[in-house]
Chains A and B, each alone.
Chain A
Amino acid sequence: MTDVANRTPEARRDPLTLRLAVRDIGGITRRNLLRIIRTPQLLFMSVVQPTIILLLFRYVLGGAIRVPGLDYVDYVVPGIFLEAVLIGGMTTALALAQDLQAGIVDRFRSLPMTRPAYLAGRTLADICRSVLALACIIGLGLLVGFRFHNSAWACLAGVALIIAFGYAFTWVYAAIGLAVKDPQTAQMTSILPMFILFFASSALVPVSTMPGWLQPFAQNQPATVTIDAVRALFEGGPVFHDLWQAALWCAGIFAVFLAISLNLYRKATA
């Protein structure tokens, strides 16, 4: 501040390189990971919630549910894995709304950084948290009797698909957070898609047991096709049909909500 000579008053018109973009994303991701580590209670909650659902359906309700061709534990646990990453994304909406309200978004938007890096850094940090929660829930699943019955590669592909689905959905939550702007509203609003997608899917019971009017939606919505593909990858069985549908859903959701989020961020005001 004293050494005027050392200033850089020339505006930087140099093009934004990929290297700078990666560096910006790294900086923002690190910031968000530090925030996640420093709020362990939130991290804890993102594990507790799927744990409760898992234990509830494994031990309390599971006894009453029969599914053809599979032990119920092998049926339901892959669904809970997906729920673990889906619920983790809710914190994306909350965190963005908090940043907006605190004026942090204004500060970042006034910097010469690569603008999309702010959102990329947010979603990457959140998917890291989800992966951690997922690891815990996989451990717990194995503990309560869930088993992988397919090849290691197929099982890894299944886990990768869950993470891809989770990442695509963090962009849905990002759009929600940027659109509603208020942290509490963001939290309430993002519960809704989570509930609809998780409960009206094949995660807990086969779609064929649902009422006729619900079946077309439940059978074709992204959570169902992803869970069916993951289940087939873990337990064996025909996978191709569900897998390409799931991949298409993930890619589509990612592309659409990435565009919506970037547009909302560009015009963001608290």
Chain B
Amino acid sequence: MNAAVEVEGVTKRFGGTLALDDVSFSVPQGDILALLGPNGAGKTTLIRVLTTLLAADSGRAQVAGLDVRKDARAVRSVIGLAGQYATVDELLTGRENLELIGLLYHLDKAIYRDRAQDALERMSLTGAGDNRVKTYSGGMRRRLDLAASLIGRPPVLFLDEPTTGLDPRTRNDLWQFITDLVADGTTVLLTTQYMEEAEHLAQAIVVLDAGRIAAQGTADELKDQLGGNLLEVQVTRRADLEKAASLIAGLASAPPQLDAGLNRVTLPVKGGARVLIAAGRALDDAGVQLEDLGIRRPSLDDVFLALTGHPAVPGDDGAAPFSPGSGQ
């Protein structure tokens, strides 16, 4: 099957910074692909390249079989873009916003009117459709923004951090909506900082870090890259932490990580129960008092940490959801 999005060796430099470094991947038609990475990883830059807003320095990118540079306008007629910041006009009503976008997709008036009405209903905005967007809540704006990106019924949809700053309930609604879209055959490429979102929505995940692809695959494939499981040892006495780490180090496929705050040692391991028993025996024989001992499947956060050497999500993500940002 043809890929809906095909990226080959795309590189983009801003001054001295390499924003995208030889990025290649593809998204099969009807799939959701999540671009996962922290702020500044290059996610938005890549979306801008694919939506014809920015020209890459080198490499090739195709959307729905069309080259984003040579066939830019044709690409624009088959894509929808919804941003991290709700890019709708505050002084227009919801309906006016949607109808304007429909007109600019060069749809006939009767069609874009119908679709605007349809989109307002679908997004539970019927009651507010003729109010100015200024009066909308954050969640309503985001829904309207998404509705606007769908007015042209694009087969390929780009969503740049679609749920950043949304409350959990609105976020879940949006997830459901995106899942429904894909069931109808739409291809979605979304960016996110949230592991949970990537894991919940996407068939494939591309981990971006500092402009490079750190890893790509399904959530399970990424987790397998860590070598299987994580052994977690929590000791009662802080003083035993180093000792515990050295006792179990031999079982590991990679160096242990110590968390002094939680008195915890985390160790990537290959096996399951056998490793757990061996660890328990070794620690008990040495007289280390244990608070907890367990084995678990790594989370995507663990994967991200292992791949990039830093946590994926910044500790404080309290930025105002709709304040205009500087982009990446």
- Chain A residues within 8 Å of B, Cβ to Cβ: 1-2, 4, 6-9, 11-13, 16, 20, 23-24, 27-28, 30-31, 34-35, 38-39, 101-104, 106-113, 269-270
User: Can you add 8 more A-B contacts, CB < 8 Å, to A8-B152, A23-B103, A31-B100?
Assistant: A1-B122, A1-B180, A4-B185, A7-B153, A11-B77, A12-B73, A24-B104, A111-B76
Contacts of B101 in A (CB 8 A): 107, 111
Contact assessment for B73 and A112 in the assembled complex, using a CB-CB cutoff below 8 Å:
yes
Q: How far is the CA of A82 from the CA of B185 in the complex (A)?
A: 57
Q: How far is the CA of A135 from the CA of B192 in the complex (A)?
A: 52
At the interface, yes or no: B39 with Cβ under 8 Å from chain A?
A: no
Contact assessment for A107 and B148 in the assembled complex, using a CB-CB cutoff below 8 Å:
yes
Residues 69 to 99 of chain B near chain A (Cβ within 8 Å): 71, 73-79, 81, 83, 85, 87, 89, 91-92, 96
Contact assessment for A38 and B91 in the assembled complex, using a CB-CB cutoff below 8 Å:
yes
Given the contacts A35-B91, A38-B91, A2 and B184 also touching, CB distance less than 8 Å: yes
Contacts of A1 in B (CB 8 A): 122, 150, 153, 180-181, 184, 186
Contact assessment for A12 and B77 in the assembled complex, using a CB-CB cutoff below 8 Å:
yes
At the interface, yes or no: B64 with Cβ under 8 Å from chain A?
A: yes
- What are 27 inter-chain pairs, A to B, with CB distance below 8 A? A7-B153, A7-B155, A8-B77, A9-B64, A12-B106, A20-B106, A27-B104, A28-B100, A31-B89, A31-B96, A35-B89, A38-B132, A103-B83, A106-B87, A107-B87, A109-B53, A110-B51, A111-B101, A111-B152, A112-B73, A112-B105, A112-B106, A112-B152, A113-B104, A269-B54, A270-B324, A270-B326
At the interface, yes or no: B52 with Cβ under 8 Å from chain A?
A: yes
Contacts of B155 in A (CB 8 A): 7, 9
Contact assessment for B81 and A107 in the assembled complex, using a CB-CB cutoff below 8 Å:
yes
Identify which of A6, A39, A104 contacts B153 (C-beta below 8 A).
A6
Q: How far is the CA of A6 from the CA of B85 in the complex (A)?
A: 30
Q: How far is the CA of A8 from the CA of B152 in the complex (A)?
A: 8
Contact assessment for A8 and B153 in the assembled complex, using a CB-CB cutoff below 8 Å:
yes
Contact assessment for B89 and A104 in the assembled complex, using a CB-CB cutoff below 8 Å:
yes
Contacts of B100 in A (CB 8 A): 27-28, 30-31
Instruction: Report the minimal beta-carbon distance from A211 to chain B, rounded to whole angstroms.
Output: 45
At the interface, yes or no: B261 with Cβ under 8 Å from chain A?
A: no
Q: How far is the CA of A113 from the CA of B48 in the complex (A)?
A: 17
Contact assessment for B91 and A103 in the assembled complex, using a CB-CB cutoff below 8 Å:
no
Contact assessment for A12 and B327 in the assembled complex, using a CB-CB cutoff below 8 Å:
no
Q: How far is the CA of A35 from the CA of B326 in the complex (A)?
A: 25
Contacts of A8 in B (CB 8 A): 77, 152-153
Q: How far is the CA of A104 from the CA of B82 in the complex (A)?
A: 11
B186-230: CB near A (< 8 Å → 1, else 0) gives: 100000000000000000000000000000000000000000000
Contacts of B122 in A (CB 8 A): 1
Which 10 pairs across A and B sit closest by C-beta, in order of nearness?
Answer: A11-B74, A103-B87, A112-B77, A113-B104, A112-B76, A12-B77, A27-B103, A110-B81, A107-B87, A7-B153
Contact assessment for B81 and A106 in the assembled complex, using a CB-CB cutoff below 8 Å:
yes
Q: How far is the CA of A108 from the CA of B104 in the complex (A)?
A: 8
Contacts of A16 in B (CB 8 A): 73
Contacts of B48 in A (CB 8 A): 106, 269
Identity of the chain A residue whose Cβ is nearest the Cβ of B82 in the assembled complex: A107
Contact assessment for B324 and A102 in the assembled complex, using a CB-CB cutoff below 8 Å:
yes
Contact assessment for A11 and B66 in the assembled complex, using a CB-CB cutoff below 8 Å:
yes
Given the contacts A103-B87, A107-B81, A269-B53, A35 and B92 also touching, CB distance less than 8 Å: yes
Instruction: Report the minimal beta-carbon distance from A78 to chain B, rounded to whole angstroms.
Output: 34
B104-139: CB near A (< 8 Å → 1, else 0) gives: 111000000000000000100000000010000000
Instruction: Report the minimal beta-carbon distance from A130 to chain B, rounded to whole angstroms.
Output: 19
Q: Which of A1, A6, A9, A12 is most buried by chain B, counting CB atoms within 10 A of its CB?
A: A1
Q: How far is the CA of A39 from the CA of B92 in the complex (A)?
A: 11
Contact assessment for B71 and A11 in the assembled complex, using a CB-CB cutoff below 8 Å:
yes
Contact assessment for A111 and B105 in the assembled complex, using a CB-CB cutoff below 8 Å:
yes
Contacts of A7 in B (CB 8 A): 153, 155
